[in-house]
Amino acid sequence: MSTAELPAPVADPAAVTPEWLTGALGGPAGVTTVRAERIGTGLVGQSVRFHLTWDTPGAGPATVVGKFPSPDPKSRERGRAGGEYRREVRFYQRLAAGAGLRLPACRLASYDEATGDFTLLLDDLAPARQGDQLTGCTPDEAAAVLAEAARLHAAYWADPRLDAEDWLRRPHPEREATGALLTRLWPGFQAEYGPDLPAGGAELGARFVEALPAWAERDTAPRCLAHGDLRVDNVLFGAGRPVVVDWQTVGQASAASDVAYLLGASLTVADRRAHEDALLAGYHRALNAHGVRDYPLARLREDHRRATLCGVGMTIGASMLVGVDDRGRRMFATMAERHLTHALDLGAEEFLG
């Protein structure tokens, strides 16, 4: 199906009909009934499992997963204005096939430039288990996710083709705007999450938002394709390799930004402190195995220390810009405590000038 032939996206999963699904899935048989089941914990988008019956039994999948704009007006506006919806669709259309990852097969990726609405239809990977940001993952699970990250990073390591993809996030050129945004959001973040911050966290956060443009300008780490929100809420675990989902923040950034973000957000502080060095070494071996030979482990460790602040920035921005339910509030509190502790543990204030 060419891009010109794609069905228009549906903004509300309640509007998905058997007729629309028949056209979207593009097979010879028709969908006769559809039942929707809300799944996932996303804040900027909503995911729905559709249970299908067909006019020819067995002619198509029994279930597919759809992803749509958030029903929350604040989150939906963030996804549209911030380019998150466009980004995820373009990833599946343009870069997923070469990313080297285990991904759900994408049956439809449709985006409306005029409205900012989107729809994804993906193969259902049930009974795979979604990771839980609040409890965190095990060190072995983190190692498995880092092995997938190494595949992704190596596939597009220092790749000039990414320069032509104008829809990708580029934290380095966007540093002035990001710094101004986080400076504006910081007082509200501190008021809401101040009690959750570790000792020294408020001081480090204030220094970071002020110094962000200069901090980003001094970052000379090699660029690759990075997920941008690599935490276990966005990973499915089951038989075989884990599956990374939610590509709304994909960008041209440093590999270390994904690595530090995963370890800082998804491990308990105690587990990270005990296993971080071994996990970094394992990721580096995987990167080497996939062909990246000019990036020494010592350089990765230094870039990783600097990149611990990426999670601080993401937490401040996301927590203030999207609609937050009770779980979301607890998730951002956990992220704030873990990411700031991570940056403090590794002395990241050194990179703030």
For residue 3, what pLDDT is reported?
45
**pLDDT tens-place string over residues 208-250:** 999 999 999 999 999 999 999 999 999 999 989 999 999 999 9
CA 348, 300, 337 angle in degrees (round to 5)? Answer: 35
Confidence band of 5 (pLDDT split at 50, 70, 90): low
Q: Indicate the fold that domain 129-352 takes in CATH.
A: Aminoglycoside 3'-phosphotransferase; Chain: A, domain 2 (3.90.1200)
- CATH 3.90.1200.10 domain position(s) in the chain: 129-352
**pLDDT tens-place string over residues 118-176:** 999 999 999 999 999 999 999 999 999 999 999 999 999 999 999 999 999 997 778 99
Spatial separation of the C-alpha atoms in residues 142 and 265, rounded to whole Å = 11
312 vs 75, more confident:
312
For residue 250, what pLDDT is reported?
98
User: What length is written for the chain?
Assistant: 353
Q: Which CATH class, in words, describes the domain spanning 3-123?
A: alpha beta
For residue 306, what pLDDT is reported?
98
Q: To the nearest 10°, report the CA torsion of 16, 19, 24, 28.
A: 150
**pLDDT tens-place string over residues 242-286:** 999 999 999 999 999 999 999 999 999 999 999 999 999 999 999
Helix (H, G, I), strand (E, B) or coil at 116: coil
With a cut of 70, say whether residue 1 has pLDDT above it. Answer: no
Helix (H, G, I), strand (E, B) or coil at 196: helix
**pLDDT tens-place string over residues 36-53:** 999 987 778 899 999 999
Q: What is the pTM of this model?
A: 0.94
Residue 259 CB coordination number (10 Å): 30
- CATH 3.30.200.20 domain position(s) in the chain: 3-123
Task: Please give the sequence-ordered ranges of beta strands (E in DSSP) within the chain, or none if there are none.
Answer: 31-39, 45-54, 63-69, 106-111, 118-123, 129-130, 223-226, 235-237, 243-244, 251-254
Residue 19: C-alpha distances to residues 7, 109, 157, 341 (Å): 11, 17, 42, 51
Spatial separation of the C-alpha atoms in residues 201 and 192, rounded to whole Å = 14
For residue 353, what pLDDT is reported?
86
Q: What percent of the chain has pLDDT over 90?
A: 90
| CA atoms 233, 113, 319, 163: torsion sign | positive
